[in-house]
Amino acid sequence: MDKSDRKFDILYSIVRDYIKTAEPVGSRTIEKKYNIGISSATIRNEMADLEEMGFLMQPHASAGRVPSDKAYRLYVDRYMKSMNIDSYIKEDVRELYSQYFGEFNELIKRTAEVLTKLTNLTAIVTLPDISELNIKEMRLMHIDGDRVLLVVITREGIVKNAEVKLSMIPRREQLDRLTEFLNLCARDIQNDNTGATFTKALDELSPGEQRMLKEIFATVKHLLSEDTGSRLYADGVTEIFKYPEFRNDTDKAARFLDVLHRRDLMAQLIDEMATDGVKIRIGGENDLDELSDCSIISATYRLNGKPIGSIGIVGPTRIDYDYCVSVINALTEELTNHLNESIGGSLDNGKGE
């Protein structure tokens, strides 16, 4: 066995053992459990070399070694293997998704819940940016007095609503005309057909209706430019306490919980990781100091070939990368397939309705 290969076989064994046990790994453990074929003393010397190279750390003088971020990165890039996710899990996911045709928000929420259940980690799923989607319909419903409810529905099944306080009390026929005008705008924008039709319809509105329209447009603009945090679903936030390195370190746990509560930051972070395939950030590779003890694994789901959101998990750096990456790959594929089957074809067919 080449000495370099031997050294990295030892490192591989240490990473796998620490992922399973969260206990520092000593040379005797490697000798007994992993059948590398060399003595405990030789293993100890190799571990000292690996520590000098930055792959291992020794938390206490009398303890064994634990992997560094550099060791996990080498493991992910060189040794990580794709696992076959049991077919019954995929079938359960498909069955779950079949219950939510056209209910995008609920679908994403359930996806986060499934991901936490399968990995025992905090799951994060982002909704698409509504401003980049296809508006199917807008509705105005009278609440009482000068208050109306604006509802925006996209062809992807996302529903957003907000209350609008108008400067006058609208009549039913006025709301009908304003609703018709809003939907005319939505159709024209999708068909790149603004201009004469828009101007003619606007001229047909009374001065009072035009004033209400301006107030409604301000709310539409707000809905279409919501902060990124409102697009994020997180599930299993307290799962981190199942891991002793967080359960026994209150400061570390508090930093983790604090950054998860900054939803806009987390949504931005996971969206920035969007790429083809799975993206992994380990420990210090994360831009946020609060996540320096964590790894993030994410992938994008797509609609008609276009990336529209991300699925990810956040956990300690010793997460089971082989399994978690395989789960995220499988779940992303199932979600993408479901969206394209339930929504994808209708977008082109519905354009210009």
Beta-bridged to residue 151, according to DSSP, are: 139, 161
For the domain that residue 327 is a member of, what is the CATH number? 3.30.450.40
Domain carrying residue 177? 131-224
User: Where a domain ends, among 61, 79, 97?
Assistant: 79
For the domain that residue 25 is a member of, what is the CATH number? 1.10.10.10
- Same-domain status, 143 and 197: yes
Instruction: Report the alpha-carbon distance of residue 184 to residue 179 in Å, rounded.
Output: 9
- Answer yes or no: are the C-beta atoms of 234 and 261 closer than 8 Å: no
- The tally of domains found in the chain comes to 3
Sheet holding 159-165, edge to edge: 135-144, 147-154, 159-165
- Residue 149: which region, alpha, beta or left (left: phi > 0; alpha: psi -120 to 50)? beta
- Same-domain status, 208 and 304: no
User: Where a domain ends, among 224, 253, 280?
Assistant: 224
pLDDT in tens, the chain (353 residues): 455 688 999 999 999 999 999 999 999 999 999 888 889 999 999 999 999 999 999 987 767 899 999 999 999 999 999 888 878 788 888 888 888 766 777 888 899 999 999 999 999 998 877 666 678 888 999 999 999 999 888 776 677 788 999 999 999 999 999 999 888 877 755 555 444 555 677 888 899 999 999 999 888 888 776 555 567 889 999 999 999 999 999 889 999 999 888 887 888 788 778 777 799 999 999 988 889 999 999 999 988 888 888 999 999 999 999 999 999 999 999 999 888 887 765 545 544 44
- Same-domain status, 245 and 332: yes
Question: Integer distance in angstroms from the first to the last C-alpha of the chain?
Answer: 69
Instruction: Report the alpha-carbon distance of residue 51 to residue 7 in Å, rounded.
Output: 11
- Same-domain status, 240 and 314: yes
- Same-domain status, 235 and 346: yes
User: Where a domain ends, among 200, 224, 248?
Assistant: 224
- Same-domain status, 292 and 317: yes
- Same-domain status, 74 and 123: no
- Same-domain status, 65 and 25: yes
- Same-domain status, 66 and 154: no
In order of 97, 235, 278, 339, the CA distances from 109 in angstroms are 11, 8, 20, 14
Which pTM was predicted?
0.78
